[in-house]
Structure 1
């Protein structure tokens, strides 16, 4: 790559990976295709660090009729915190259902030992992730980047934290709750 090309080369972040180099017209196409949107980190030679695309000269190519997505602290995080504790909540729901169906503690304990109601916790995790993803979308976040990961909750939680620029607390809580359920 020549020096003139390297100066015009842009890099961008996608799913936590550095992509590029691309020339500016190609980067503009990515913006128009919503691959790059508000909050996406970009860099080119001369920048001191990665910048959000809206803080560069590329902001003129963003859809300026729509406001930027709400920041993480402005989004109602009730669902994501329920999701963080979903392994434990699901485990208790499984016990409740096993007790209601079997009518006694011995039958419920056998059902739990055989993992007969594992689908309750799975369904709870997926439902909470699905509704949380909807909430993020209504807050203006482009969830297409990680929408398919709602089925794999820890990956979804990690990507959500990165997209909303929040710490990984609910991701870590989910992992801890999951481990606690496994060892119980």
Structure 2
């Protein structure tokens, strides 16, 4: 029987027998939008909805294509037909959580502005301690979510430590993140710019400008 290959979450899977693939479509383990390939389809991956699988019916597979022979120095070696190169897309290193963390210094400034509008003293020790505590907990939580998302995207398959570096401030986190991913430095610069804005705002509150 003809060997088939199929797409699952952007990854090539197979080989698999046709009957098994029909069962997967019939039981909705695979969407008919998934691309499939066999030697009979030529050099292109084709959505299952445009093939015999569209009705999820069992069909007699075509004759197994002959194997090609390749001569090597050690004798004759047989190779089966291989699918064409599967088109891959590179996952984005950006994430909503990284954006949140990059702009997080503005949260402190927003808290002070809100306190000032409510006629509270943003320089009070209790208020400062509470806002700093909540900001720290929030940044650690967001960093953990961002690091987990990077792993789920396959961008950190070795599970190298990233999230603990947020304890060195988000500056350390974004440096570690960019070093592992070989990119994403813009988040570090955004965080530095937001931190500068926050410091200017804090100085203004101290002097009650």
| TM-score normalized by the length of structure 2 | 0.44
Q: Which has more radius of gyration? A: 2
Query: Which structure has greater helix proportion?
Result: 1
Q: Which has the higher contact order (CA 8 A, sep 6+)?
A: 1
| TM-score normalized by the length of structure 1 | 0.49
